[in-house]
């Protein structure tokens, strides 16, 4: 066996249908498109969701539900995860950048600290939100809790300087 006599496996390659090549081919005349109508013409493409004139599915099924566009989505991180991070990296201050660097949150995530697990070290945590139990647990160990984001700018910082 060499490159000159390689062939595909038996039955794995089929010839293409040759359409519209006369009646002797068996696929001449209408070229397997049926008789007349838009689908037999060149350039035909159906509209998305068109079901031949019957009422389409997206119109048969009723609308329901509600989407609150003002909802704030938070990425939850539990106390036991913070404890593991503090032990492995030997850190006492945790903010969003620290969590992103360690793969616990994405850059655009709003982070909320949740109360599952036990905290044994003193931590200073600066994130977007805290659950009440997480806040109590951090402060019980002598750590500090700081909520970032959605804060009003300092007075006069928006005014133009003369």
Closest CA to 121 of 73, 70, 79: 79
Given a contact cutoff of 8 angstroms between Cβ atoms, the answer to whether 93 and 143 are in contact is no
Lowest mean pLDDT among 3-12, 75-84, 106-115, 150-159: 150-159
Does 156 have pLDDT greater than 90?
Answer: no
Q: Render pLDDT for 77-124 as a digit per residue (tens, 0 to 9).
A: 999 999 999 999 999 999 999 999 999 999 999 999 999 999 999 999
Q: How confident is the model at residue 162 (pLDDT cuts 50, 70, 90)?
A: very low
- CATH number 3.40.50.300 given to 74-147: no
In angstroms, rounded to a whole number, what is the distance separating the alpha carbons of residues 100 and 107? 6
């Amino acid at each position: 066996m060499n490159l000159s006599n390689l062939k595909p496996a038996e039955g794995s390659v089929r010839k293409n249908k040759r359409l519209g090549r006369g009646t002797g081919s068996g696929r001449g005349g209408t070229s397997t498109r049926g008789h007349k109508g838009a689908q037999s013409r060149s350039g035909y493409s159906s509209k998305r969701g068109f079901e031949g004139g019957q009422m389409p599915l997206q119109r048969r099924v009723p609308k329901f539900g509600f989407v609150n566009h003002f909802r704030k989505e938070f990425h939850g991180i539990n106390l036991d995860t913070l404890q593991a991070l503090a032990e492995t990296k030997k850190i006492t201050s945790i903010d969003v950048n620290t969590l992103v660097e360690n793969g616990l949150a994405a850059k655009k995530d709003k982070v909320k600290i949740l109360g599952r697990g036990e905290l044994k070290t003193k931590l200073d945590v600066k994130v977007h939100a805290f659950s009440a139990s997480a806040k109590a647990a951090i402060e019980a160990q002598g750590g500090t809790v700081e909520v970032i984001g959605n804060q009003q700018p300092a007075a006069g910082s928006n005014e133009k300087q003369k």
